């Protein structure tokens, strides 16, 4: 049964309201990034004079070293954390979905508890531990905490996905002489590729957007990611606000996320829906 004209109108109105609510802050930041310093506090949404001065400042100007180094850190740390989370979550989720062993529910419950545990509550002890063992202000010092953010959600998504893959495929591969590892690698992993890919993207977004760990566990440009580096932006002088430069940097670091979502939105939806529907 199709929707009536009235229902279509209501759904269209709801869609527009949600889009405006979600995209208005992004549009405001983008508009601010093109304003000159004298227009930042004039109360107008669009800039009176469109300028690239803020982008020049973060890419070739005074904020270049701070922004580009943090951008490099964010890319490297997020990619490494995502790769490790995807591999570990794939193995853990397969074991939980396929193998019968005591403590399966406890592992999933623990993963859920870790994912909802407030990050700020463990930053101080982690800060002291990292200073003691030499991981403070290093890439590994951020990659390891990022796994606590990315692994739980990755395990949950992939466990649901593996449960939808027919058990008979793996049994058939083993009947043909494949070992458990070969059956997993050659029969299961290719079928699970959409779910693994979706999970990796979600894990990347989580690591890319982290601020608490980035600001608390770094002190120099050696490992500081972009979200934390934005807090250290300054204006061209002590009397100038860095709002324009921060907005320009926010736009630049948002572009990779938007591009990834636009390019792989079908894979993301397919991966999530296949893992959520009981086969």
Q: Please report the pLDDT score of residue 278 as a whole number.
A: 45
Residue 46's pLDDT is what? 87
Residues 6+ apart with CB under 8 A from 157: 89, 93, 195, 198, 199, 202, 271, 272, 275
Specify whether the CB–CB gap between 65 and 235 falls below 8 A: no
Distances, alpha carbon 247 to alpha carbons 45, 100, 115, 241, in Å: 14, 51, 30, 11
Query: Which fold would CATH assign to domain 64-232?
Result: MetI-like fold (1.10.3720)
Which tokens in the block code for residue 118? 């407030």
pLDDT (0 to 100) of residue 267: 65
Chain segment 160-200, per-residue pLDDT in tens: 888 888 877 777 877 777 777 888 888 888 888 888 888 89
Q: What is the pLDDT of residue 279?
A: 42
- What's the pLDDT score for residue 274? 56
Q: For the chain, which ranges sit under pLDDT 50?
A: 276-279
């Amino acid at each position: 049964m199709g929707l009536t004209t009235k229902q279509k109108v209501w759904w269209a109105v709801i869609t527009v309201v949600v889009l405006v609510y979600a995209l208005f802050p992004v549009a405001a930041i983008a508009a601010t990034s093109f304003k000159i310093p004298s227009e930042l506090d004039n109360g107008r949404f669009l800039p009176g004079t469109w300028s690239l001065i803020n982008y020049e400042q973060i890419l070739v100007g005074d904020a270049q070293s701070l922004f580009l180094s943090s951008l490099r850190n964010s890319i490297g740390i997020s990619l490494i954390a995502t790769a490790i989370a995807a591999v570990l979550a794939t193995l853990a989720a397969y074991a939980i979905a396929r193998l019968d062993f005591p403590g399966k529910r406890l592992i999933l419950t623990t993963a859920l508890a870790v994912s909802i545990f407030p990050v700020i509550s463990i930053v101080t002890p982690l800060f002291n531990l990292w200073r003691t063992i030499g991981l403070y202000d290093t890439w590994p010092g951020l990659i390891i905490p990022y796994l606590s953010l990315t692994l739980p959600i990755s395990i949950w998504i992939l466990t649901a996905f593996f449960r939808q893959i027919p058990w008979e495929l793996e049994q058939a591969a083993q009947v043909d002489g494949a070992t458990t590892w070969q059956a997993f690698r050659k029969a299961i992993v290719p079928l699970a590729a959409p779910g693994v890919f979706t999970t990796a993207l979600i894990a990347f977004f989580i690591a890319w957007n982290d601020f608490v760990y980035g600001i608390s566990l770094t002190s120099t440009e050696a490992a500081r990611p972009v979200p934390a580096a934005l807090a250290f932006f300054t204006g061209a002088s002590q009397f100038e606000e860095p709002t324009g430069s921060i907005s320009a940097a926010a736009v630049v670091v948002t572009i990779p996320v938007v591009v990834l979502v636009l390019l792989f939105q079908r894979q993301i939806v397919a991966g999530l829906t296949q893992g959520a529907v009981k086969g």
